[in-house]
Amino acid sequence: MKAAFIERPGPPEVIVYGDLPDPVPGPRDVLVRVRACAVNPIDTYVRSGAVAMPLPLPFVVGCDLAGEVVAVGGEVDRLRPGMRVWGSNQGLLGRQGTFAELAAVDERWLYPTPDGVSDRDAAAAALVSITSHLGLVGRAAVRPGERVFVNGGSGGVGVLVGSGEGDGLGVGEGVGVGHGGTRFGHSCNGTVRPPSSSAS
């Protein structure tokens, strides 16, 4: 398979685009044909060595992916070949990343992609959606009707939190300042889902 990988941490120039053996899924793993992946700041920190983590070498970079299940291990029970999935938390803590044609991912890190959401949108929303949810729901315990200030609202997480009614997290009435001083906000509906797809 083709992949973007490193053989040692370093600047962007250490990234190699080339051939690696196809990953072999373990008993709890799902083999995903990657259709889209996203670059996040953590990907650059791990690649550069700024955040030290165990790296199996060669190391495929990237946290987020969306694609299609092509095979499953014998202990996988939620997913099956042909399903569209999205996920995150790869390329961390010794797990291979997602910037490859195929990725073997533990089933617990994958979720069915909703109908109408493109692979591109699912991959782009993966880590920022999870981070937003953990911060607002898990950490801050935001409840319907509460207001939230989003400092740094022009980043991926901030934009998602304040992305408007019907899109993004919908977990609180957000009011913040985005890029260029733009004010934004949204109402609470208490659901978590990827943003609506405008293109497939």
Residue 16 is predicted with a pLDDT of 97
pLDDT digits (tens, 9 = 90+) for 152-181: 767 777 777 766 433 334 443 343 333 333
Whether 91 contacts 41, CB under 8 Å: no
Residue 73 is predicted with a pLDDT of 98
Q: What is the pTM of this model?
A: 0.77
Q: Kindly state the tokens that stand for 12.
A: 């962007």
Residue 65 is predicted with a pLDDT of 96
pLDDT digits (tens, 9 = 90+) for 102-157: 999 999 999 999 999 999 999 998 888 888 878 888 888 887 777 777 777 677 77
Residue 6 is predicted with a pLDDT of 98
Residue 144 is predicted with a pLDDT of 75
Residue 89 pLDDT more than 50? yes
The answer to whether the bond into 58 is cis (omega within 30° of 0) is yes
Residue 188 pLDDT more than 50? no
Residue 167 is predicted with a pLDDT of 37
DSSP 113-133: PPTT--HHHHHHHHHHHHHHH
Residue-wise burial string across 62-100, b where 16 or more C-beta atoms lie within 10 A, e elsewhere: bbbbbbbbebbbeebeebeeebbbbbbbbbbeebbbbbb
Sketch the domain layout of the chain as residue ranges.
Answer: 2-112, 142-186
Q: Report, at the CATH architecture level, how domain 2-112 is classified.
A: Alpha-Beta Complex (3.90)
pLDDT digits (tens, 9 = 90+) for 43-88: 999 999 999 999 999 999 999 999 999 999 999 999 999 999 999 9
Residues ≥6 apart with Cβ < 8 Å to 198: 121
Q: Are strands 173-177 and 147-148 parallel, antiparallel or unpaired?
A: parallel
Whether 126 contacts 103, CB under 8 Å: no
Length of the chain: 200
Residue 199 is predicted with a pLDDT of 38
CA proximity to 104, closest of 35, 7, 22, 4: 22
